[in-house]
Amino acid sequence: MSHFNKPPNPSNNTVDWSDPRLEDLLKKTEGWSLDNRGVFSPVPCDIHVGWGAGGGRQATLVFERDGVMVIEARFILPKGDPVRVDRIQAGTLRSTWGIVIDGREGHRAEDKANGVHVYWIHGR
């Protein structure tokens, strides 16, 4: 095919998920744990659980984009809980309200040693 020809129509392409070659390829990726935390400078923050103005607990904002924040914390945040994330940005306090949409234990060795959990929070 020359670069002037139209590419094949993607709607005509189907994936045979039972193909042994595809299964072998996917099995090779099972142990992978991709970690993108190195591309964002961590920011100390306080997490306030619930809609009240109770005391916050220290955590770290490790990534933020398009209304989603990724937080490292040494405590449990139940999925679906409303939270407020407070941090200092450009010398002023910035607060973002959101909902915990997912979470898990950290995969890194230092995460496991320190009881770090990683949470995804959708800001409002």
**Amino acid of residue 100:** V
All structural domains of the chain: 42-123 (2.40.10.220)
Residue 81: partners with Cβ closer than 8 Å, 6 or more residues away = 49, 50, 99, 100
Q: What is the pLDDT of residues 35-75, one digit of tens each?
A: 555 667 899 999 999 876 677 899 999 999 899 999 999 99
Between CA 11 and CA 27 the distance in angstroms is 26
Which of these, 84, 25, 97, lies nearest to 57 by C-alpha position?
84
Token representation of residue 38: 């190195």
Q: Are the C-beta atoms of 47 and 83 separated by less than 8 Å?
A: yes
**pTM, full prediction:** 0.67
The fraction of the chain above a pLDDT of 90, given in percent, is 51
